[in-house]
Amino acid sequence: MENTPFKQFGEWMKEARASEPNDSNAMTLATVSAAGRPAARIVLLKAWDERGFVFYTNLESRKSNEIRENAQVALLFHWKSLLRQIRIEGAVTPVSPEEADAYFASRYRVSKIGAWASDQSRPLASREVFEARLKEVEKRFPGEEIPRPENWSGWRVAPDAMEFWREREFRLHERVVFKRAGTGWETGLLYP
């Protein structure tokens, strides 16, 4: 069997789901604007396979704008309870409309309403303005299925590098790195 990082990722994610008290799928997403300004924020991993790691967001948000300007990003999972982290670097591409529709359909109704009501990352005059927009959307879709807004979808990070970091005593950590090599992966160790 080919040596890939995905088996290790799956094992660590399974352990994180069992041990992390909240959001074991939380990951830091780092982007860089066209002007070279970095930004980082937490997003939630919603799907993954050997094609990459998927998260969903407003396509007019700061993160989406920066992704369109520079499709190279980094992800970081940090599980304090397990003393582990995984770093992922790679290029981002949009998920298919079918994938976005399927995930959106699985969301709670209030989350769907929020996707319609929020102008994510843009200035908000007051919380009351947002709450009024939530009520307007609720009235617009009374008791019926809420379709996915056109400005809401997902991004897939296709990794070209992944690092698995495990804490060891006295800061003598273990670091295993995978780097994309053609259609396969090269692996090695890094000094702590």
Residue 61 within any structural domain of the chain: yes
Per the DSSP assignment, residues forming a β-bridge with 56 are 154
Pairing of strands 184-190, 152-166: unpaired
Residue 132 within any structural domain of the chain: no
**Based on the structure, what is the number of domains in the chain?**
1
Known active-site residue 171: yes
How high is the mean pLDDT of the chain? 95
Q: How far is the C-alpha of 159 from the C-alpha of 162, rounded, in Å?
A: 7
> Among residues 51, 171, 175, 180, which one is catalytic?
171
Q: What is the pLDDT of residues 86-121, one digit of tens each?
A: 999 999 999 999 999 999 999 999 999 999 999 988
Confidence band for 2, pLDDT divided at 50, 70 and 90: low
Residue 112 within any structural domain of the chain: no
Per the DSSP assignment, residues forming a β-bridge with 141 are none
Count of CB atoms within 10 A of residue 62's CB?
A: 16
The residue assigned the tokens 């007019």 is 60
Q: How far is the C-alpha of 70 from the C-alpha of 48, rounded, in Å?
A: 22
Residue 117 within any structural domain of the chain: no
Residue 1 within any structural domain of the chain: no
Range of the domain at 69: 6-106+149-190
Q: What is the pLDDT of residues 128-182, one digit of tens each?
A: 999 999 999 999 998 879 999 999 999 999 999 999 999 999 988 999 999 999 9
The residue assigned the tokens 């298919």 is 96
Residue 45 within any structural domain of the chain: yes
End-to-end CA distance of the chain: 28
Q: Is the pLDDT at 1 greater than 80, yes or no?
A: no
Residue 95 within any structural domain of the chain: yes
Residue 126 within any structural domain of the chain: no
Whole-structure pTM value: 0.94
Q: How far is the C-alpha of 109 from the C-alpha of 146, rounded, in Å?
A: 8
Residue 82's CATH number: 2.30.110.10
Angle (CA) 39-67-103 rounded to 5° is 105
